[in-house]
Structure 1
Amino acid sequence: MRMHWDAFVAAVQERGAYESRHEAERAARVVLALLGAHLVGEVRAELAARLPETSALILLNPLQAHEPLPPERFVRATAAWIEGATEKTAAWDVSAVLSVVAEVAGDGLMDRVLFQLPPDYDLLFGHPRAS
């Protein structure tokens, strides 16, 4: 069963210890849009199917990255999209959102998502891979 947007945002708010729902929702929208630009094909569609409908629409937005950003540049891009964010706060935002995404996705799909991304994204998802 698909998670509702309110439950997703509440999970992000709790995970990120955001004072307001607005902050959690803003982080979720930015991070999901950037993530969606990095995923393609069935993996992107399957992840979208597991996420709330609102976030699925954000994830499936036709933005496409010219090249996959390494994790540190993904965090910098997040900071650039969130008004007043620093790299440190953006890293927090990314971690809060992607850890909830990893929980919703489950291990099998997460392995396929991480296969499409540059090395070390597993840490952003809070889903470290064994070396």
Structure 2
Amino acid sequence: MTWHDLVRRIRAAGRYTTDGEAEDVLRAVLAALGGHVTGEERCELTALLPPEAGAVLAGSIPLTQPLTAPQFVEAVATALDTAPPSARWATGTVLTELAQTAGEELTGRILAQLPRGYALLFGRVELAPAA
């Protein structure tokens, strides 16, 4: 997959009007995600992405305290200078596409690194343990 292919996938999935808009969304979400995904999962995901996308992901400094899913969306909203509902759409679009690229096993390991609440952003169901 090339950078242009990935941008086109984001554009189509997110129904963005231009490649530039899709590219801005992709960069913002990858930069935010890069602070959360570490170790082997970060290396594996970076290797699956086009070099430009991998560089954005790998170029983020890992956070010492991960953001909750709502805080993550808010960080994307700030980066894009947009409202939270638009940022939620952007985040879900990019993370769902990344999950499709990564596959079930790697996506599961990435989600295991994140606080509860991220699964829906990746297009996955997050079941609560039985009480």
Is TM more than 0.5 here? yes
- Equivalent pairs counted in the alignment come to 128
Aligned to 2:101: 104
Q: Which runs of 5+ in 2 are unaligned?
A: none
1:116 aligns with one of 109, 113, 125:
113
Using the alignment, how far apart are the partners of 2:120 and 2:65 within structure 1? 20
Using the alignment, how far apart are the partners of 1:37 and 1:113 within structure 2? 12
2:32 and 2:60 in contact (8 A); partners too: no
TM-score using structure 2 length: 0.94
1:78 aligns with one of 71, 76, 79:
76
* 1:14-64 per-position Cα deviation (integer Å, ceiling 9, x unaligned): 010000110100000010010010011101000111111110000001422
Alignment of 1:1-131 (within 5 A): 3-83=1-81, 85-131=82-128
The residue identity in structure 2 corresponding to 1:31 is V
Structure with greater contact order relative to length (CA < 8 Å, sep ≥ 6) = 1
Q: Which runs of 5+ in 1 are unaligned?
A: none
2:92 and 2:123 in contact (8 A); partners too: yes
1:65 partner SS: coil
Using the alignment, how far apart are the partners of 1:129 and 1:46 within structure 2? 23
Using the alignment, how far apart are the partners of 1:60 and 1:122 within structure 2? 21
Which ranges of 4 or more aligned residues in structure 1 deviate by more than 2 Å? Answer: none
TM-score using structure 1 length: 0.94
Using the alignment, how far apart are the partners of 2:125 and 2:42 within structure 1? 20
